[in-house]
């Protein structure tokens, strides 16, 4: 059997989305905690896996896949023959890609950045991060009012890409109470067979 390892950090939403996908697909994996506070991600052995010095990184046999969204695409294409998690048709793939772009854009620079600044004291224009987060969540609220998941009636990797940092947005001071469709969607993701939660931070529940 091919050995599979995920280099991750328990408080990273990017790492959690990869871990969550592995669990949803029922894939065994060894998890290697990377000490980000100690700078392990900048050491030569880790940079050989990901020159950007970021978690997560999935290693499967001879394949090395850095980047959480890339890992989602890889796992869906390799292990989901049904095409549920990543549709095979061009329109379905484009709809998923739209949300992957949002995860790498307003989600990363909004809710994710606000959370990092709150947890680790990283410098940030917090007002701008909150503006980006609330702008994204307003769009999600509107679209999730029309369908149960971001792309349609079943979850895709688009939902997995957005779950972790949306669920933990309050850790960055962003309240979700005004987004009932988003919070209902979070509950639907958490109810999926194989779901595993992301570790809460010490400031969980502050908003």
78-116 pLDDT, tens digit each: 999 999 999 999 999 999 999 999 999 999 999 999 999
Q: Which CATH superfamily is domain 4-79 in?
A: Glutaredoxin (3.40.30.10)
Q: Domain locations in the chain?
A: 4-79, 90-190
> What is the full per-residue pLDDT of the chain (207 aa) written as tens digits?
668 999 999 999 999 999 999 999 999 999 999 988 888 899 999 999 999 999 999 999 999 999 999 999 999 999 999 999 999 999 999 999 999 999 999 999 999 999 999 988 888 999 999 999 999 999 999 999 999 999 999 999 999 999 999 999 999 999 999 999 999 999 999 999 999 999 887 654 443
HSE toward the beta carbon, residue 128, CA cutoff 13 A: 7
Domain 90-190 of CATH type 1.20.1050.10: yes
Contact assessment for residue 201 and residue 115, using Cβ atoms and an 8 Å cutoff: yes
Contact assessment for residue 147 and residue 153, using Cβ atoms and an 8 Å cutoff: yes
Q: Name, in order, each residue with C-beta under 8 angstroms of 166's C-beta and a sequence gap of 6 or more.
A: 107, 111, 137, 140, 176, 182, 186
Q: Name, in order, each residue with C-beta under 8 angstroms of 42's C-beta and a sequence gap of 6 or more.
A: 53
The Cα-based distances of 34 to 9, 11, 13, 17, 142 in angstroms read 6, 11, 14, 16, 37
């Amino acid at each position: 059997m091919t050995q599979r390892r995920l280099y991750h950090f328990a408080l990273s939403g990017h790492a959690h989305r990869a871990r969550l996908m592995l669990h949803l697909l029922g894939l065994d994996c060894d998890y290697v905690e990377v000490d980000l506070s100690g700078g392990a991600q900048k050491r030569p052995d880790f940079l050989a896996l990901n020159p950007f010095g970021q978690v997560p990184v999935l290693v499967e046999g001879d394949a090395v896949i850095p980047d959480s969204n890339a890992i989602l695409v890889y796992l869906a294409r390799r292990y989901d023959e049904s095409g549920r998690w990543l549709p095979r048709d061009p329109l379905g793939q484009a709809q998923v890609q739209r949300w992957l772009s949002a995860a790498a854009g307003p989600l990363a620079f909004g809710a994710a950045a606000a959370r990092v600044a709150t947890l680790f004291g990283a410098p940030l224009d917090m007002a701008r991060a909150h503006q980006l987060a609330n702008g994204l969540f307003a769009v999600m609220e509107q679209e999730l009012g029309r369908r149960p998941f971001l792309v349609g009636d079943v979850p895709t990797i688009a939902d997995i890409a957005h779950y972790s940092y949306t669920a933990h947005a309050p850790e960055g001071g962003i309240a979700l109470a005004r987004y009932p469709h988003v919070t209902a969607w979070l509950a639907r993701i958490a109810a999926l067979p194989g779901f595993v939660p992301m570790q809460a931070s010490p400031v969980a529940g502050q908003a």
